[in-house]
Each structure stands twice: as structure tokens, then as C-alpha cells.
Amino acid sequence: MLFNSLAFLVYLPIVFCLYWFVFNKRLRWQNGLLLIASYFFYGWWSWKFMVLLSLSTFLDYVYGFSVASPNRKRAKVFLWLSIINNLGILGVFKYYNFFALQFQKGFDMLGVHLHPSLLQVALPIGISFYTFHGMSYVFDIYREKQKPISNFIEYAVFVSFFPLLVAGPIERATHLLPQVQQRRTFNYRQAAEGCRLMLWGMFKKVVVADSLAVIADNIFNHYTEHNGLTLVLGAIAFSFQIYGDFSGYSDIALGTAKLFGFELLSNFKFPYFSRDIAEFWRRWHISLSSWFRDYLYIPLGGSKGGKAKAVRNTFIIFLVSGFWHGASWNFIAWGFIHACGFLPLLLMNRNRTHVKEVVAADRLFPNGTELLQMFTTFCFVTFAWIFFRIHDIGQAVDYTKSIFTNVKNPGEALSYLSIFYYIVPLLVIDWQFRRNERNLQIAKRNMFMILSSKVVLYTVYTLTAIFLLNAIIQKENVSFIYFQF
């Protein structure tokens, strides 16, 4: 079920009313409703996927009790069983065909021709997310940060909670499970914040991302016919398309969770205002970056043991992160590019320069140095998105070369300047709220600023409603990009 669909607009009020007005007397009733509603939400695509979700959930629930054993050898065995189980599910459904074809190509080079059987099964929606939920639960039990949950319903809600089930954020058991286990009462302020986040997320998706997608697709799909400046605009369009698409989903997920009394982990903190690549990755897809940091980078030794080990672990993290996004060499190349961008900061011990403060934290505008840093970082990120967008690495390289070599008909680019109709308002509003991504409240300054900001916000909400209703009427509910991962 898509957030930007008529089905969801009907589904959400029904679940909300049942949750707060019918099942509100008992916590176990509320959790039971959430579990049923989550499986209904997930099964809207295919009931077959529900079987895999149920199996993954049940196995990690069972493993958790053995991983909590005081016998560390026994605990480690079941920890590895959980890892093998989850990565095995991913390996079969997401990566089997990729590796089978790579082996086929490798043997072809040796003169041996193989014909491996390929899986003709669609990738289960959200598989990369709910398997990571399960692994985080087992990892935290092994590290004695989390105790195994005896109530299966509570654990199943943690894994399958519908706002985050399909595309995150990737939650931690230590953060979400306590909220599942405690009594929840309706909080008007929290619900209002949730509605604002949902509307803002819808704006980023249906107004910005879906509009830019048409332009970006036209340029990328016919890049050999366009001049260099148009190709630059196409890369910028995709850069904001994927940001609006994925951060829009995350905002809707956080806002929906608030309606039911939950606070999810932040997933985006205005990444295009980052001053270097390290800061970008602390602000982009935060739940995935922190997951790899805590469960892969640190266990590998992190930055301890000298620069050589830190460099090795950094490249492992970025390459694995790229491969997590999809079974294709272009995603690995995308991860490698970001690793190369991160490397100079690591070697100069500047990768933690911008950890706490946001850009221009106590000022209305950034200074010249900050502007240059943000511009440089955005250009690097946008260049890397070319390899993310084009699955064939050779074509991605050709696209990049064409930016500098194809100078024919420069006036053509003027027809694509319309991308800034969507980008500029997004940047202006993001800048306004850059200090707190979860609460879209107007800062109390002078009356003119308050009124003008409210006019902008209500304009955004109106445009969102118009675009969303038009998409529903025209049956053009565009899926979210990260559904394929």
C-alpha cells in the first residue's frame, strides 16, 4: 500500500479511530490491532510476502532467547544462526541472480559455458529493512543492551510496524521496543506534529519528487541527445528527486507513527546543507549509516589500530552500503565514490568537524565559506548520484564525459530550468526548519516573518492536496524509489 494512494487515505483514518476509540483500553489490544493493520498494509502488495515476513520474525524471536544464554559459546552460535538466516533471505531473494550471472560471466572467460537457473521471483517489498530490524534485536541481546521479549506480539509489532516496514527508518530494539511495551495515551500536540510532518513529506514526494522524476527520466533516458548543461540539470533534478522521494517517505513514516504515540528515529537532517561528505552521511539515511557503524564498522575495529585499518573499514562500510541498495555494480561504484570522498577527511582527522551544530546555527544566512563548502559537497554528491541512477557503469561514465564534451545547442538547457520551480521552495523551507527536522513550527520572531512563513506553509499544504488528489484521480501514484531496495 502506497502512502500516496487512495487506499492509504482510507486505511489510515480507520486504523486511527479503532486504535484510539475502540482498542484504547488495553495495551495488548492496541498492539494486536497494530500487528493486524501492519500485516494488512504489507499484504496489500502480495500475501505471499507476508509468509516470508512472518518466518523471519519468528526465527529471530526464537533466536533471541538462546542468544541471551550465559553460555557465550551457545549465544554466539545462535547469533550466527540469526545472521545466516537474515543474510540468507537477502542473499536468495536479492543477490542470488546477481552472483549467478557473475559466475556465468567468469566461467565464460575461461571457455566454460554455464547456464545457471535464475529466480523468477519479484523482490519482496521492504526485505532489506525488516531483516535489519531483526538482526539489530539479536545483536543488542548478544551485547546485553536488550533482554529477549517473551511477548511475541510486542516483538512482531517492532519488526512490522507499518509506517516503517517498507522503507524505514531502520529501527533499533532498544529504541522502539520500550515504546511498544508501554501504555500510550493520545497526545494532541504529538498528533498535530505528525500531521504537519506527513503533509510536508507528501509535498516532497508528490509535488517535488514526482514532478522532477518526469524531467530527470527524460534527460537520463536520452542523455546522448542532450548537451552538457542539460545533463547537469538532469543530475540536479535526480539529486532532488531522490531526496524528496526518500526523505518524503521518512517524514510520512515519522508523522504516521506520531499519530499512534510513537517516536521513530530520524532518517534525514537536511543533508544538502552539509559542509563535507562526513556530515552528509550523518544527515542522509541516518538509520542505515548508524546501523552499519554500530554493527559492522565498530566490530571490525573501527578507527582503532591505526589509519590503515580505519581506511580499510571505511571502504568496507561504503562498499557494503552501496551493495545493500541493490545487486548491481553501479551501486558498488556509488559506494566506492563516496568512500574516496570520505578518505581525505579521515586521513586529515577532519571527518568529525561538523558533528553537533547545524550550518549557520545562530544566523539567518550562511557565510561565504559555508556556502562554498555546501556547494562543493552538493556537487560531489550529485556526481555520485549519476552512478546510482544509471545501472550500466559504462553509460554512467559516458554521461559524465558528455557533460564536458557535448556543447551542441546550449540554449536547449533553458527549457529545463523549470526544475528550480520545485527545488527553490524546497530549499527555502528546509532552511527555515534546519535546526529541528521533526517539528515544523514557526519560530517566534517578528510578526511579518511569522505571517509570511505561515502563508508559505499553507500554500505548500494546498499544493500538496491538489497534486495528491490529481495523482489519485489520474491513478498515477508513483512508487517510492527505495521500495526497490
Question: Can you give the three-state secondary structure of 64-119, one letter per residue?
Answer: HHHHCCCCHHHHHHHHHHHHHHHHHHHHHHHHHHHHHHHHHHHHHHCCCCCCCCCC
DSSP 152-187: HHHHHHHHH-HHHHTT-----HHHHHHHHHS-----
Looking at the structure, tell me whether residues 249 and 359 fall in a common domain: yes
Instruction: Please say whether the beta carbons of 401 and 198 come within 8 A.
Output: no
pLDDT of residue 276: 94
pLDDT of residue 90: 87
pLDDT of residue 379: 96
Looking at the structure, tell me whether residues 377 and 251 fall in a common domain: yes
pLDDT of residue 449: 47
Looking at the structure, tell me whether residues 364 and 431 fall in a common domain: yes
Instruction: Please say whether the beta carbons of 434 and 374 come within 8 A.
Output: no
Which residues are known catalytic residues? 325
Question: Does 289 map to a domain?
Answer: no
pLDDT of residue 470: 65
The pTM of the full predicted model, rounded to 2 decimals, is: 0.89
Question: Does 3 map to a domain?
Answer: no
Nearest alpha carbon to residue 271 among 358, 362, 194: 358
Range of the domain at 375: 189-275+354-484
User: C-alpha cell of 84?
Assistant: 545466516
Q: How many residues does the chain have?
A: 485
pLDDT of residue 448: 44
**Amino acid (1-letter code) at residue 166:** V
Looking at the structure, tell me whether residues 117 and 266 fall in a common domain: no
Looking at the structure, tell me whether residues 179 and 196 fall in a common domain: no
Looking at the structure, tell me whether residues 163 and 244 fall in a common domain: no
Euclidean distance between CA atoms 166 and 127, whole angstroms:
8
pLDDT of residue 129: 87
pLDDT of residue 485: 61
Q: Which of 185, 213, 247 is the last residue of a domain?
A: 185
Looking at the structure, tell me whether residues 378 and 252 fall in a common domain: yes
Looking at the structure, tell me whether residues 180 and 206 fall in a common domain: no
Per-residue pLDDT of the chain (485 residues), as tens digits, is: 788 788 888 899 999 999 999 998 899 999 999 999 999 998 887 788 888 899 999 999 999 999 998 898 999 999 999 999 998 988 888 887 777 777 777 777 777 777 777 777 777 888 888 899 999 999 999 998 999 999 999 999 999 999 998 887 899 999 999 999 999 999 999 998 998 888 888 888 888 998 999 999 999 999 988 899 999 999 999 999 999 999 999 999 999 999 999 999 889 999 999 999 999 999 999 999 999 999 998 888 887 878 888 899 999 999 999 998 888 899 999 999 999 999 999 998 888 888 878 888 888 889 999 999 999 999 999 999 999 999 999 999 999 999 998 878 777 888 899 999 889 988 988 888 888 766 665 555 544 444 455 666 667 667 677 666 666 666 566 676 766 66
Question: What's the structural domain count of the chain?
Answer: 2
Please report where in the chains the cell 561504484 appears, as a residue: 333
DSSP 295-307: IIITTTTTTTT-H
Q: Which of 185, 219, 236 is the last residue of a domain?
A: 185
Farthest CA pair distance, the chain: 76
